[in-house]
Amino acid sequence: MKTSINISDGDAFYEALLAAAEGLSADESEAFLLRLVLLLANQVGDQQALLDAISAARAMVNVKRD
Amino acid sequence: MMPALATGGGYSLPVFPYHRPAEVRGEKRRHPVAIVGGGLSGLTAACDLASRDIPVVLLDEDDTVGVRGASSRGIVYAQKTLEIFDRLGIYERIAEKGVTWSVGRVLADDDVLYAFDTARGSLSKQPPFINLQQFYIEWFLVDRLNELPKAELRWKNRVSAIALAKDHATLTVETPDGTYALEAEWVIDASGIASTIRQQLGAPMAAALGEDRWCISDVRFQRTLPAERWTWAKAHFNDGRAVWQHPMADGVWRLDYQMGANADPQQIASPEIVKDRLRRHLGETEVEIVWVGPYGYRTQLMESFRQGRVFFIGDAAHVMNPFGARGGNSGVQDAENIAWKLAAVLSGAADERLLETYNEERRAAAEHNIKVTGRTIRFLAPRSPFEHRLRDAVLDLARRYDFARALVDTGRLSVAYDYGTSALTTNGGTAFPNLAITHPDGTPGALSDLLRGPGARFLVLCFPSTAALDLPATSVRAFACNAAIGSLPVIRSTGLAALGREGEVMVIRPDQHLAARLVRPDATAVLAAIDRACGGKARR
């Protein structure tokens, strides 16, 4: 999993993300993000990188696993 | 498992004759192999062993095929299974009676998300799939067994108890003429999901019941539909739940509907509700209901598929969710796996260590199938609102983008299990396709023809520019592929050229899985691979 910046223009990416989600309800935002995640996952492709990213994101959400 | 309801059917099933068993007449004998249960796996095991010239006695509590009430059970037979049936001599009848198909479509409501053709790239003489009611396959196996002198079928023989000794097992068998004891060196338990033997031996088993409910309707109707497998991940005509649509023999279609969690089986299978569901699916058409069966999911997996002298095959060993036709097809492959190993041991070609690998190989296959079918359930029956929305995002993307179609899981169809690096393989493990070949004498045939005959023979396929090998002829048959090598008989096939490279030698196991793939080996290396595939030192 890459952890240093790999996006050519980070600020523009963030801005585009905000713009796309602007005015969406919570449900719509979730629908947007789920589709985005799946599209991006296919861009990454590398299985290990995907699994690492899933664990890294999960570890940052403060709910204990049973 | 919930009870199956039999409604009509219009099938007429055979009734097989009961004969007073030798033991009841006072004869004492010890059978090399006894098989308990005359379902799909048990009959396949019996047919495989008897084809290998091993005497086998099969005990079944009933005197017909199928479950009482003409339940159709499994319908989809995959390529590897069809290849086994080709070797056993019943493939032609299956192909004639069944519906051969290879195209599948995956839908969400009115949209076809994607279609696939499983025939693409297939090198086998058998098609990817044939659909046929399970009892027909069982019937053909019985007919074949009746032609094999080494097979004895005992109908109306119910096994009620087992006792294990060091070198044999004793079964208590109930018949119309009373109870008798049957001794066998080895027992194959193919008695299904509620095996008495498994329970009596107290063999450990993990089991889980699911909440998901389905309702099968096997029906005939006037409308003509394509001979394809259609699966809806969600269908508006089934309240947004999944639906399966499959053809089989006699103009019957299997329509399988996902129901709400914990739905009442009596209610979902009641005639009015079934008819209403069919009308929503098929429109106004005259429908004849052949069979209706509500069912719930169940998973079972024995800790070990072997208990002393007893081997468990099919549903007795493992039960999985019915996606991708993995239950019946894996039972047939269990049967083939134990059959060639027992044949190798009983014919003196291998020692008993080989038998332990039945559990290693087939339990790994069952574990894999349970994992695969479990993933399908999770896709079709999301467990939380989040899972539901994630699933719907996949379906949504799949309408437009190719990559997401691969994530739509309405069942991964059964393929032969790849044993990979098992105790028996040397750079092998995959199932070798049943290629159409031209035999050395110029007659057309299939690779499986070369595996027929007594005992458990290995094939050695020598590709061009390998050295002539000096191999003992007893348990090994060597062939040159497409070009002469020394004095080896030559088999020809375009498929061979696609599978092997110059300088390679492939060792094929009696179950047509690849035992070894070797590059320019000498005879010693080939024999070492065969030793390994026999679980140790092969006897020649």
Average pLDDT, chain B: 92
Q: Tell me, what's the pLDDT at B475?
A: 66
Tell whether B404 lies on the interface with A, counting CB pairs under 8 A.
yes
Q: Tell me, what's the pLDDT at B6?
A: 35
Tell whether B382 lies on the interface with A, counting CB pairs under 8 A.
no
CA-based nearest residue in chain B for residue A27: B389
Identify whether the C-beta of residue B98 lies closer than 8 Å to the C-beta of residue B130: yes
Q: Tell me, what's the pLDDT at B224?
A: 84
Tell whether B406 lies on the interface with A, counting CB pairs under 8 A.
no
Which whole number is the average pLDDT over B445-468?
92
Tell whether B388 lies on the interface with A, counting CB pairs under 8 A.
no
- % of chain B with per-residue pLDDT over 90: 79
CA-based nearest residue in chain B for residue A35: B393
What digits encode the pLDDT tens for the residues B473-493?
666 889 999 999 998 999 999
Identify whether the C-beta of residue B50 lies closer than 8 Å to the C-beta of residue B145: yes
ipTM for this model: 0.94
Q: Tell me, what's the pLDDT at B67?
A: 67
3-state class percentages of chain A: helix first, strand second, coil last, to nearest 5: 65, 0, 35
Q: Do B393 and A35 touch (CB under 8 A)?
A: yes
Q: Which of B294, B367, B422 is nearest to B4 (CA)?
A: B294
**Does the pLDDT of residue B166 top 90, yes or no?**
yes
What digits encode the pLDDT tens for the residues B343-384?
999 999 999 999 999 999 999 999 999 999 999 999 999 999
Which residues of A fall within a CB distance of 8 Å from B389?
30-31, 34
Q: Do A34 and B390 touch (CB under 8 A)?
A: yes
**Does the pLDDT of residue B7 top 70, yes or no?**
no
Mutation for testing the A interface, residue in B390, B399, B405, B408 having most A CBs under 10 Å: B390
Which whole number is the average pLDDT over B313-325?
93
Q: How far is CA B423 from CA B357, B420, B428, in A?
A: 7, 9, 11
Q: Tell me, what's the pLDDT at B278?
A: 94
What digits encode the pLDDT tens for the residues B92-118?
999 999 999 999 999 999 999 999 999
Q: Tell me, what's the pLDDT at B152?
A: 98
Which residues of B fall within a CB distance of 8 Å from A38?
393-394, 397, 404, 407
Which residues of B fall within a CB distance of 8 Å from A30?
389
Q: Closest to A34 (Cβ–Cβ): which among B389, B401, B403? A: B389
CA distance B304 to B359: 6
Q: Tell me, what's the pLDDT at B5?
A: 35
CA distance B390 to chain A (A): 6
Q: Closest to B404 (Cβ–Cβ): which among A30, A31, A38? A: A38
Q: How far is CA B442 from CA B434, B445, B459, B490, B521, in A?
A: 18, 9, 19, 10, 28
Confidence of residue B341 (pLDDT cuts 50, 70, 90): very high
Confidence of residue B469 (pLDDT cuts 50, 70, 90): confident
* DSSP helix/strand/coil, B9: coil
Query: Higher-confidence residue: B335 or B285?
Result: B335
What digits encode the pLDDT tens for the residues A25-61?
999 999 999 999 999 999 999 999 999 999 999 999 9
Q: Do B397 and A30 touch (CB under 8 A)?
A: no
**Does the pLDDT of residue B305 top 60, yes or no?**
yes
Q: Tell me, what's the pLDDT at B13?
A: 84
**Does the pLDDT of residue B147 top 80, yes or no?**
yes
Tell whether B393 lies on the interface with A, counting CB pairs under 8 A.
yes
Q: Do A38 and B389 touch (CB under 8 A)?
A: no
What digits encode the pLDDT tens for the residues B44-92?
999 999 999 999 999 999 998 876 555 668 899 999 999 999 999 999 9
Phi, psi (5° rounding) for residue B416?
A: -60, 135
**Long-range CB contacts for residues B201-206, cutoff 8 Å, separation at least 24:** B201/B162, B201/B164, B201/B307, B201/B310, B203/B302, B203/B303, B203/B304, B203/B307, B203/B312, B204/B302, B204/B303, B204/B304, B205/B300, B205/B301, B205/B302, B205/B303, B206/B299, B206/B300, B206/B301, B206/B303
Q: Which of B107, B97, B42 is nearest to B75 (CA)?
A: B97
Identify whether the C-beta of residue B32 lies closer than 8 Å to the C-beta of residue B54: yes
Q: Tell me, what's the pLDDT at B138?
A: 96
CA distance A7 to chain B (A): 23
Q: Do A42 and B403 touch (CB under 8 A)?
A: yes
Tell whether B398 lies on the interface with A, counting CB pairs under 8 A.
no
**Does the pLDDT of residue B231 top 70, yes or no?**
yes
**Does the pLDDT of residue B517 top 80, yes or no?**
yes
Query: Higher-confidence residue: B274 or B70?
Result: B274
CA distance A41 to B400: 16
Question: What are the helix (H) ranges across A22-66?
Answer: 26-44, 47-59
The radius of gyration of chain A from alpha carbons, rounded to an integer in Å, stands at 14
Q: Tell me, what's the pLDDT at B437?
A: 96
Which whole number is the average pLDDT over B494-505?
92
Q: Tell me, what's the pLDDT at B496?
A: 93
* DSSP helix/strand/coil, B320: coil
CA-based nearest residue in chain A for residue B397: A35
Which tokens hold the place of B350? 């291998």
What's CA B514's distance to the chain center, in Å? 18
Q: How far is CA B211 from CA B1, B298, B382, B383, in A?
A: 12, 9, 12, 11
Which residues of A fall within a CB distance of 8 Å from B396?
35
Q: Tell me, what's the pLDDT at B295?
A: 85
Tell whether B112 lies on the interface with A, counting CB pairs under 8 A.
no
**Does the pLDDT of residue B429 top 50, yes or no?**
yes
Phi, psi (5° rounding) for residue B223?
A: -60, 145
Q: How many CB pairs under 8 A join A and B?
A: 18
What's CA A12's distance to the chain center, in Å? 16
Confidence of residue B3 (pLDDT cuts 50, 70, 90): very low
What digits encode the pLDDT tens for the residues B396-409?
999 999 999 999 99
Q: Tell me, what's the pLDDT at A62?
A: 76
Confidence of residue A65 (pLDDT cuts 50, 70, 90): low
Confidence of residue B2 (pLDDT cuts 50, 70, 90): very low
What digits encode the pLDDT tens for the residues B453-463?
999 999 999 99
Which residues of A fall within a CB distance of 8 Å from B385?
none
